Each structure stands twice: as C-alpha cells, then as structure tokens.
Amino acid sequence: MGRETNLIHGLPEPFKIKVVEPLVVPSPERRKEAIREAGYNTFLLRSDDVYIDLLTDSGTAAMSDNQWAGMMLGDEAYAGSKNFYTLEKSIQDVLGFPYIVPTHQGRGAEHLISRALIKKPGLLVPRNMYFTTSKEHVELQGASMPDVVIDEAHDPESMLPFKGNVDIAKLKKVIEQNGAEKIAFVYVEMNVNMAGGQPVSMANAREVSKLCKEKGIKLVFDATRSSENAFFIKEREEGYAKKTVVEILNELMGYADACIYSAKKDCLVNIGGFIGTRDIGIFEATREMVVTYEGLHTYGGMAGRDMEAVARGLREGAQYEYLKYRIGQTNYLGKMLMDAGVPIVKPVGSHAVFLNALKFVPHIPREQWPSQALAAAIYEDSAVRSMERGAVSKGRDKNTKENIFPKLELVRLTIPRRVYTNTHMEYVAESIIHLHEHKDEIKGLKMVYEPPALRFFQAKFEQV
Ligand code: F0G
C-alpha cells in the first residue's frame, strides 16, 4: 500500500538562527542528584538541569521572525480583538472550519467539547487510542473511551503506513452493541500520539465519517497534529502527491463536524488552542461555555498577541518544505537508533521517536515501571530529558482501581519544532546507543507518591 517516501535523513534546516539560548551540560554528579530529587520523574526536573529537552513538542517550538513581528501587533482589547479575526481567517483558510471558539490550550477545548456533547453519564466516546487529557475530560463527564484503533497500532514492529487508522469493524461493533444513542461522539486523533505519532489515512477518515453520518453520530477530530498527518497523506497515500498540505487539510477536516486543537504543536507557538466547527449547535454550546471556563469568546484565554502568533504559525506549519525538514529530523534520529539495534516504534512518526522499553530493559518487570526507569536513566546518562508513555501515563481503571498495563510501554523522545540542530540529534543518539549497550545496569522503580488524576505529571519514585 502507498509509495515510498522520499525523505532524506537529516535535511538541512530551512532557516538560519537569529537568537540563541545558551545551554550547559550539568555534571554527572549533578544529574544523579537532580533525578533523585525529582523522584525519578522527568516532569519534576528543573529545566536548568536539562541539556536537550525532549520532554514534549508542546509549546516548545521556536517562533519565526514573522510570528515575533505579529506579536508586536497584539490588540489586547477585551472584546473583538483584531487578532481574533486574523486567527479565524487563518483557521478558515487552512482547516476549512467556518466557526471557531478560542481556548487557552488544547485541554480547554477538550473540556468544552466533552461538556457540550456528553449530555449524561454512562455514554461512550470511541477513539483511535486514548490521549491522557482527552480521556480525562471525557471521564470527568461520566463517559468512557473504548479503543477502536487498528490492532497494528499496539504493535511496535508493524510497518503499516497508517497505523493510526480507526478499525471500522471495531467501531461498528461498539455502535451495534450499545446503540447509536449511547455514543456521545466519535473522537479521531490525527497522527496518534500514544501510538508513536502514527497517521490516519484520508480513506479511513472518509469511511469513519460515512459511518457516523449513517448512524447520526457526531465526529470530532483531535486535529492537534493534523498538519504533520497531512504531510504523511501527501507522501504515502495514493492520489495526494500533487496536492498541497492545505488542500489535504481542507479535505480531511471536511469529514469532521468539529475539531479540538492544541495550537502548541503544529502551530509553532508556545500557548494556545481552539475548537473549529461547521456545526452550529456545537458552536453555540461551546461559545456559551467558553466565557465561564476560558475567557470571552474572542480570546478564550489567549492574549491578542498569542492569537496573532497562532494565526501565522498555522499557515507556516502547513508549508511542505518546513514539514519535510521537520519530519526528516525526527526520522534522522530514529534511523540512527534503528541502525544501532535500539528497539523503537516503527515506522518513525512525525513528532517523536518512541523507545520500546519492554525490549530495551526486559529485565525490569512491569510493576517496576520500565519506561519510567528508562527515561530517568537517559537523563542521568546525558542530561537529555524524555517522557514516560506507558503504564504510569495510562493510570488506573476507573472502576476496579487496578493499574492498567497497556501493550505499549514506551519512552518518548519528542522533538521540539525548529529548536535543536541535527548535531543535537546525534548527541542524543550517541547517549541512547551507549545506554543500550549498558542496559543491564538500569534499575527498576517503585512508586512512592501517586496523585489521583493524570498521575504521570507529579508521581514520585525510588529505585528498587
Ligand atoms: N491532544 C493531543 C493529541 C495532545 O498531544 C495534547 C497535548 C492535547 C490534546 C492537549 O493539549 O497540552 O495544549 O492542553 N499533548 C502534550 C504532549 C502535552 O506532550 O503530548 P494541551
């Protein structure tokens, strides 16, 4: 299926550097102390103690001169800021949604959509794999989130080009077994984060949309990484090679009734989010609520200058040459690791390289949090900060309170956009390859503090 990508590994950066932020590498002694103080949780490290920060691609991008220039045009009027209208136009052009509701970031949008569409407890929101905050907001409204992604998404070795696809048979089964009235909405994530940054194909989006229409169920996209998803459609799906990323995005988004969007990723900004919709009911419901939870409906928690940066960033982040470099850099890191025999999720996704902890540290039992232990060991080795994406992130079953051990137990090396050079990627690869050669020395962890919700952010551990 599909055709070969034409990515070149480690494309030269399509920009030059105007401002630099000096970095220091903390000493080995300080690293050992810092990770112990942080309870072996990389979220609790101070960024001063980090050399290369691959915790997340969220809010960590370097803005362009054009975006910074836009920041100076911030109209900080409480109501009707001109930057809101620029943002609205940019979303209409790039994504094709006529109505928008701004929010402070993605989870603000997740909150409003979940409140608007989950009208009573006990409903279902099928999704192509959970994302932490999306699931939390669905569960806070009393609904649950059955997984309807294809089986291959849970297999780090499967090389399918669209591993984020919805399994139509699974989705049909959920609808048939429960009745369409029990489905609050279908949630489809672009470039599925927890699966390794794996895209959804246009054909799959079309099919899900058709099914939802037949059954009278609303379809909402988590379009957070949709520009990167669109790049993969252009590269891999027949019939799209000659289309622009924006044309692809317009078609793709055309299948959804609404989207939630964290602008902190593909829009190349440090803060922001929104809901885009073509459904007047969803628009009115979320616009009414935004004033209670986020801010007036023409700023939703963003400053005027932030909205301007998002408006410009959405357009920049959908440029083919930029995306080719961006995804090429991720691929470069992935290839260096693969060539050295380090177990990673394949194929390499857009925003991160995911290490397969179950293969990397097979001597650590799952009850001793192998991904968490591996992320801590990487920091100690090289001051590179990564993130656990396994059982700690997954949390406990809401009913039985038991830990859930997902099939994928991963460490995410997430690449901020336009921030690090390819030489930085070589440093990261060198450290991880070295660690892989000494993996037997990595020790398991026990959890000594566990917050009740989204525990991965603040949990603390000790070495066993
Ligand atoms: N949806 C997806 C797919 C995400 O990856 C995120 C955030 C959100 C929604 C929530 O957006 O952070 O702006 O509130 N992901 C970040 C990450 C935190 O590191 O993957 P937010």
Q: Ligand 1 within 6 A of 266 CB?
A: no
Kindly give the confidence (pLDDT) of every residue in the chain, 464 residues in length, as a single tens digit, with 9 standing for 90 and above: 444 545 555 678 899 999 999 999 999 999 999 999 999 999 999 999 999 999 999 999 999 999 999 999 999 999 999 999 999 999 999 999 999 999 999 999 999 999 999 999 999 999 999 999 999 999 999 999 999 999 999 999 999 999 999 999 999 999 999 999 999 999 999 999 999 999 999 999 999 999 999 999 999 999 999 999 999 999 999 999 999 999 999 999 999 999 999 999 999 999 999 999 999 999 999 999 999 999 999 999 999 999 999 999 999 999 999 999 999 999 999 999 999 999 999 999 999 999 999 999 999 999 999 999 999 999 999 999 999 999 999 999 888 999 999 998 999 999 999 999 999 999 999 999 999 999 999 999 999 999 998 999 999 999 99
Q: Ligand 1 within 6 A of 56 CB?
A: yes
Q: Ligand 1 within 6 A of 106 CB?
A: yes
416 and 283 in one domain? no
167 and 43 in one domain? no
- pLDDT on residue 150: 98
DSSP β-bridge partners for residue 32: none
Q: Domain range for residue 403?
A: 7-57+326-463
423 contacts 6 by C-beta, under 8 angstroms: no
Comparing C-alpha atoms, which of 458, 365, 339, 432 is closest to residue 52?
432
Q: How many angstroms is it from 263 CA to the middle of ligand 1?
A: 9
Comparing C-alpha atoms, which of 110, 132, 135 is closest to residue 391?
132
Domain final residue, candidates 316, 338, 353: 316
Assigned domain for 1 exists:
no
Assigned domain for 83 exists:
yes
Residue 164 phi/psi, 5-degree rounding, is -90, 0
> What is the CATH number for 310?
3.40.640.10
End-to-end CA distance of the chain: 46
176 and 81 in one domain? yes
Q: Would you say the C-alpha torsion 94, 96, 98, 103 has a positive or negative sign?
A: negative
Q: Which of 136, 222, 224 to mutate to test the pocket of ligand 1 (most atoms within 8 A of CB)?
A: 224
The verdict on whether 97 is a catalytic residue reads: no
DSSP β-bridge partners for residue 259: 221, 276
Domain final residue, candidates 256, 281, 316: 316
For the CA of 387, the nearest atom of ligand 1: 19
Assigned domain for 321 exists:
no
304 and 192 in one domain? yes
Q: Ligand 1 within 6 A of 273 CB?
A: yes
186 contacts 124 by C-beta, under 8 angstroms: no
Dig out the tokens for 58 from the structure. Answer: 């969220």
Assigned domain for 2 exists:
no
The verdict on whether 293 is a catalytic residue reads: no
Dig out the tokens for 32 from the structure. Answer: 């050992």
The span from the CA of 378 to the CA of 40, in Å, is 11
> What stretch of H or E contains 385?
strand 384-385
Q: Which of 42, 58, 227, 351 to mutate to test the pocket of ligand 1 (most atoms within 8 A of CB)?
A: 58
Assigned domain for 27 exists:
yes
Q: Ligand 1 within 6 A of 114 CB?
A: no
121 and 22 in one domain? no
The verdict on whether 326 is a catalytic residue reads: no
Domain total of the chain = 2
Assigned domain for 207 exists:
yes
Comparing C-alpha atoms, which of 139, 191, 150, 144 is closest to residue 330?
191
Residue 182 phi/psi, 5-degree rounding, is -85, -10
Q: What angle do CA 41, 53, 346 make, to 5 degrees?
A: 85
258 and 241 in one domain? yes
258 and 111 in one domain? yes
Transcribe 163-179 into DSSP letters: TT-B-HHHHHHHHHHH-
* Residue nearest (by alpha carbon) to ligand 1 atom 10: 106
109 contacts 103 by C-beta, under 8 angstroms: yes
455 and 437 in one domain? yes
The span from the CA of 11 to the CA of 8, in Å, is 6
Assigned domain for 29 exists:
yes
Domain final residue, candidates 316, 346, 373: 316
Q: How many angstroms is it from 36 CA to the middle of ligand 1?
A: 27
The span from the CA of 370 to the CA of 373, in Å, is 5
Assigned domain for 292 exists:
yes
The verdict on whether 389 is a catalytic residue reads: yes
Q: Ligand 1 within 6 A of 224 CB?
A: yes
237 and 379 in one domain? no
Catalytically annotated residue among 167, 222, 257, 279: 222
Catalytically annotated residue among 15, 78, 405, 457: 78
> What is the CATH number for 450?
3.90.1150.10
353 and 233 in one domain? no
188 and 124 in one domain? yes
The verdict on whether 286 is a catalytic residue reads: no
- pLDDT on residue 375: 98
- pLDDT on residue 3: 47
Q: How many angstroms is it from 308 CA to the middle of ligand 1?
A: 21
DSSP β-bridge partners for residue 62: none
364 and 236 in one domain? no
Sort 256 into a burial class: Cβ within 10 Å, 0-12 / 13-18 / 19+. Answer: buried
CB atoms within 10 A of CB 370: 28
89 contacts 311 by C-beta, under 8 angstroms: yes
The span from the CA of 212 to the CA of 259, in Å, is 15
CB atoms within 10 A of CB 424: 18
The span from the CA of 266 to the CA of 276, in Å, is 15
CA distances from 173 to 167, 209, 268 (A): 10, 16, 38
The span from the CA of 337 to the CA of 58, in Å, is 23
